[in-house]
Amino acid sequence: MGLLIGRLLRRWMLIAAIAGSVMALGGLYAFLSEPVYQANILIKVDDTSGAPTSTGRDILSNVSPSFDAKSTAEGEMQILGSKLIVSHAVDALKLYINAKPHYFPLIGAWVARYYKSLPWPHFLQADGYAWANEAIDIASLDVPKDMEGAGLTITALEDGRYSLDGDQLDAPVTGKVGVTERFDTRQGVITLRVDRLVGKPGAAFDVVRSSRQDVVADLQKALQITEQGTKSNVLSLTLRGRDPARVSATVNEIGREYVRQNADRKAVIAANSLDFLQSQMPAMKQQMEEAEARYNAYRNTHTLLDIGEENRIALKNASEAEIQLLTLRRTRSELSSKFRAMHPSIVAVDEQIASMQNYLDDLNERVKSLPVDEQGALRLMREVRVSSDLYSELRKNIEELRLIRAGKVGAAQLIDASDIPKHPIRPIKSLILLVSALLGVLVGVGVTLMLDHLFAGVTEPEDIEAQTGLMVYATLPLSPKQRELEKQAETEPERQGLLALRFPGDPTVESLRSFRSALQFAILGARNNIVMLAGPLPEIGKSFVTANLATILAAGGKRVLLVDGDLRKGHLHTSFGCALAPGLAEALVHPDSFDKLIQKQIQPNLDFLQAGFYPSNPSELLMGKNFSTLMTAASNHYDIVLIDSAPALAVSDAGIMAPIAGSIFLVARFGQTRIGEIEESTKRFAQTGARVSGVLLNGFSLRRANYGHASRYGSHAYTAYKYDASVQ
């Protein structure tokens, strides 16, 4: 985690810039995007039809069960969003016609919303752009089928006239506001009526006549219909759109049409039931009159005594059972015209009929125990009572059904209509700004990590060791004193600019001293005392490290031969204030002059062999046997032979020289050298049979180092007693 934080802190400015840019884009979207409004209505759906009396409801439920069927929320939601209801709203509001002012791209609509009264320069109103209160109302627009969905442009003219143009028109045509116009085109006739046109001459409006079928389908998909709560039978209809007046009018029209359709359905059911009952009236009346006539005739021919209280109760029960049985049979007759015999509704009615018939049969058995005269009287009295009750109820229910049909009482009620919404639901500016800020930070972090992965150099010794398997022998801090020496060398090139000589207590020099100790042990395990320092690419401070290391080794009492092995751009001689002279290049051509070309004792215990004058064929010279012979001879005369080679990845020279060296160290630059370069350099040395001993991380900057490194070592990581340890 510390390493990750350190990487992010090093590039905090990049992260801040990316986060600010993303937040700015989010702000532009929040303020320039067209707002979205939401309109909502509530509809209450009753469980019953709301018939005026319980008797009316009972007879209607028996005669026509569908009239009193409970309205389920799921079913009503399907009806509310059905094509029947939605298409009426589309037609009533002409939602298939879209007309709006022609705004300037991106900012035009935003400016028109918030700055309607500003006086805009004439050049901004060119091309018909609308900037203020332009408006248009189109009463009707019919186009040929091929032109549905095609864009048309209406441009305001003087004297209440306008021009109509589009890709499908050969030339613009003109019309007058308030007049139904007909325009002939190649595809057919366009019928257009513009009722209102507000705008200066030249103001343009974008008009589209969409397919009615597509608009209905799209509106059905856009509607959100839910039930408020659980089993509340309160339906919520929600619609979102960019025109607040349009979405409000749409949901209100859908709600009103649904309520009207619901009432119409109930009225139709009532009318059908009324027709059925009226058709039964003559037969019921005749049946009643015949029953009364039979009873009167029976009484005239028989002497009847009081039938008794028990028989009266039996008569009442039998009459009621007979009425219910007749009603159930009529109900089954109507249901059989709609459903099959095994339908659950018919099966339920059949069970009720069977139960009622059994009850009636039991009553008849009890009547048979009476005397014959009383049996006949009871039977006729029952017929009279049943027929009279049925006829009376039938007349009463017919009157009630007439009232229901005339009043169109439905089961649905619009309890909460929609007002024109004032505040949009999107965009939520504060949320967009917050999300864009968070997204910007995440993008900045992602870009930073990607750049670090693709382009950034190593900053942690642990990364080198973990990914390459090579040990980091030393981490050399960036020295501000070295920068001072480099500036002095520009004005006084003859002065020696070695850091180890001018500032021996510098933390960088101390780090090289630590490496000197480790190097001595490394040489003990190597096959010879030839040490080569190489770097993957130029400009990493390899020559600086080599020159100062040679000085420190010599100061420790070792006899050192420093060889500038870069035959292409070697410049070690400048570090010691020496003039360019023949060196290794000449020795490879004339090996007998090798000893003479070595500059003796440029410092105590330190001899120096320059690169010499740059040859035209450095690789070929190094591939000859003379280089190996000369280095082997030097190894026998010195404690350490230190070679500063050319960049390993830039040229092949380092790979040619590597096999002669017993120890090879790669110099990596903090924040510059990448892991892949170290791995590739190691691979190239391995191809020549040489093995890299370790890595020196040069130019380490504590300020730029990872947070994890600073947290582990603190500010004392590269300080020495009484020495200025501040780093850059």
Contact 714, 12 (CB under 8 A): no
pLDDT band at 687 (very low <50, low <70, confident <90, very high): very high
Compute the chain's Rg from CA coordinates: 52
Cis amide leading into 427 (omega within 30): yes
For the record, the structure tokens of 236 come out as 């919520």
Percent of the chain with pLDDT over 90: 46
C-alpha span between 374 and 377 (Å, rounded): 5
Residue 634 has pLDDT above 50, yes or no: yes
Q: Which H, E and C letters describe 220-284, residue by residue?
A: HHHCEEEECCCCCCEEEEEEEECCHHHHHHHHHHHHHHHHHHHHHHHHHHHHHHHHHHHHHHHHH
Q: Kind and range of the H or E element at 285?
A: helix 244-301
pLDDT band at 83 (very low <50, low <70, confident <90, very high): very high
**Structure-token match 């509704």, residue found:** 345
Residue 25 has pLDDT above 60, yes or no: yes
Give pLDDT tens digits for 546-584: 999 999 999 999 999 999 999 999 999 988 888 899 999
Check: pTM over 0.85? Answer yes or no: no
Residue 187 has pLDDT above 80, yes or no: yes
In the three-class reduction of DSSP (H, G, I as helix; E, B as strand; rest coil), residue 629 is classed as: helix
Class of domain 469-716: alpha beta
Give me the torsion for CA of 89, 92, 94, 95, rounded to 10°: -20
Which residue, among 635, 633, 624, 623, has the nearest Cα to 526 in the 3D structure? 635
pLDDT of residue 660: 95
Residue 427 has pLDDT above 90, yes or no: no
Given CA atoms 659, 660, 663, 667 in this order, what sign does their dihedral have? negative
* Mean pLDDT score across all residues of the chain: 83
In the chain, what are the domain boundaries? 2-33+429-453, 37-55+75-227+234-259, 273-416, 469-716
pLDDT of residue 59: 43
Which residue, among 325, 333, 316, 327, has the nearest Cα to 356 in the 3D structure? 325
The residues, ordered by sequence, that sit 6+ positions from 225 with a Cβ below 8 Å of its Cβ are: 77, 80, 81, 235, 236, 237, 238
User: Residue 597 has what DSSP assignment?
Assistant: H
Which range has the top average pLDDT, 172-176, 185-189, 488-492?
Answer: 172-176
pLDDT of residue 50: 40
pLDDT band at 56 (very low <50, low <70, confident <90, very high): very low
pLDDT band at 283 (very low <50, low <70, confident <90, very high): confident
Beta strands 640-644 and 560-564, pairing class: parallel
C-alpha span between 709 and 12 (Å, rounded): 17
Which range has the top average pLDDT, 387-401, 482-496, 588-602?
Answer: 588-602
In the three-class reduction of DSSP (H, G, I as helix; E, B as strand; rest coil), residue 692 is classed as: coil
Residue of 56 and 273 predicted with greater confidence: 273
C-alpha span between 238 and 246 (Å, rounded): 13
Give pLDDT tens digits for 701-711: 765 555 445 54
Contact 698, 541 (CB under 8 A): yes
User: Which range is least confidently modeled, 298-307, 534-543, 669-678?
Assistant: 298-307
For the record, the structure tokens of 696 come out as 């020196």
pLDDT of residue 661: 96
Give pLDDT tens digits for 121-159: 554 555 567 666 788 899 999 999 989 989 899 999 998
pLDDT band at 643 (very low <50, low <70, confident <90, very high): very high
For the record, the structure tokens of 546 come out as 């080599």
Give the pLDDT mean for 465-488.
Answer: 89
pLDDT of residue 51: 41
Residue of 1 and 87 predicted with greater confidence: 87
pLDDT band at 67 (very low <50, low <70, confident <90, very high): very low
pLDDT band at 190 (very low <50, low <70, confident <90, very high): very high
Residue of 487 and 366 predicted with greater confidence: 487
C-alpha span between 33 and 35 (Å, rounded): 6
Give pLDDT tens digits for 688-701: 999 999 999 999 87
C-alpha span between 67 and 400 (Å, rounded): 14
DSSP letter string over 457-501?
Answer: ----HHHHHHHH---EEEEEE--HHHHHHHHHHHH-TTS---HHH
Give the pLDDT mean for 460-472.
Answer: 92
pLDDT band at 405 (very low <50, low <70, confident <90, very high): low
Beta strands 663-669 and 694-700, pairing class: parallel
